Structure 1
């Protein structure tokens, strides 16, 4: 991984650049949703294609099952992501209300919690008391401090609808790619499967490379790692289809 130059580090730590970075919204959440949706979408449809090919089913069956799974699983994954983020936000709000009640009813006890939390970080004496005094004078800061430090609940503005939409869109887009060769008329089934495998491998590798650029990981390793994940899932689907074909004597 290329080392950032000292000049670039100084530029990144200018006050206005820091402020802009800290005020950036849901970029990391969007990237996570997109990567998750794309990988799962491609795995879902190519696993269906592999299983159908291993079982000896015709292209029409692979196409029907592929699109049926693509839409159903894409919708299911988007809804699951929506519900997960919504539940996370609701839990944070519930915990916030509890902390507000505690501050109102037992402020001395809540101040002691702040004191002990920051003592664990190494603060002592007048510095520690100044921190407790500063935090407890600002109710909003006090509540947020307890949410983060006591409960480990980071402040998040992720939108359940946005996350669901990003997940669904990338799931459908990436998942449809391995099905494209099955639209080519007159192409032999082995060629259709081979092209589908090649497209799926390209999608997996591209997702890994994009992930490496965002999270500054080694390009080749990240691409191969994602490719290996998708390839393993497809191999399992193919093997399952082939073994069941043999077990039931499907010609």
Structure 2
């Protein structure tokens, strides 16, 4: 009987078909379809960031080398050396960044717990003022704060959110973030270089290989643009266009620098 009463209490707000439809459409009676949720991949950010940086960096290097009319051997040696070095740097950087964020969050939580335990009054008053600033009625804000005050962990987390600090992620492993960043950098950064490997048996024309690198880089950037749109729940075409534009601008700038140094500044072999 108690279980039945509990079920009734939790479903009483949506006990009619109309209420259920309203709830499914956002709770306000709207008839528009529910917006698509973003993809919640755990390492999506690391993959997108490292992949985009790898493609742009590697292709920009290829562009500058091609503009100075160096050989495919130079492209491959410099390209892969730069790829491995930057990949290690990116991976270690992501690891250190994630570790630092967790350390800062843990320290902030310890400080907040102490403040809540030893200076509960001012801490609750700060929360009360924050909720009022967000538009909550003073009586409702006082009720919410008094309820949170019964649960120390919840109160601590709310206080951290007020200060713009997310609670430390217990399940997050910084070394995994670093490893994913390194792997993504190598995988996507290899795309522009594949043309200079695949076309070796078919042609010695450096321009043909460079065009192939352009095509492979564009495909890799488009793939990242699609992934970015999937994660953020944005328009696919717009995301791909922005990603391609970013890569094109970076590559054009690198090509212009290489051509200028070779043909105008007089840096001959």
* TM category, shorter: 0.7 to 0.9
* Contact 1:29/1:163 (<8 A) preserved: no
CA distance in 2, matches of 1:44, 1:210: 19
Alignment equivalent of 1:152, drawn from 153, 164, 174: 164
Partner of 1:229: 246
CA distance in 2, matches of 1:112, 1:56: 68
Deviates more, 1:126-135 or 1:89-98: 126-135
CA drift at 1:189: 0.8
After TM superposition, which residue ranges in structure 1, 4 or more long, deviate above 6 angstroms? Answer: none
Distance, in Å, in 1 between the alignment partners of 2:125 and 2:267 is: 72
- The aligned counterpart of 1:169 is 183
Preserved CA contact (<8 Å) 1:38 1:170: yes
Secondary structure of the residue that 1:84 maps to in structure 2? helix
The 2-side partners of 1:117 and 1:96 are apart by 19
State the TM-score, normalizing by the size of structure 2: 0.80
Equivalenced residue count is 234
Alignment match of 2:144 (pick from 111, 122, 131)? 131
Cα RMSD between the aligned structures?
Answer: 2.5
Q: Distance in 2 between matches of 1:106 and 1:217?
A: 44
Q: 2:71 maps to which residue?
A: 58
> Within 2, Cα distance between the matches of 1:198 and 1:79?
30
* Higher RCO (CA < 8 A, seq sep 6+): 1
1:231, distance to aligned residue in structure 2 (A): 1.0
- Structure 1 counterpart of 2:85: 72
Aligned to 1:196: 213
TM (norm. structure 1) is 0.85
CA 1:216–1:125: 2 relative to 1, 3 Å: closer
Change (3 A) 1:219 1:27: closer
Q: CA deviation at 1:144?
A: 0.5
Per-residue deviation, 1:170 = 1.2
- 2: CA distance, partners of 1:162 / 1:40: 19
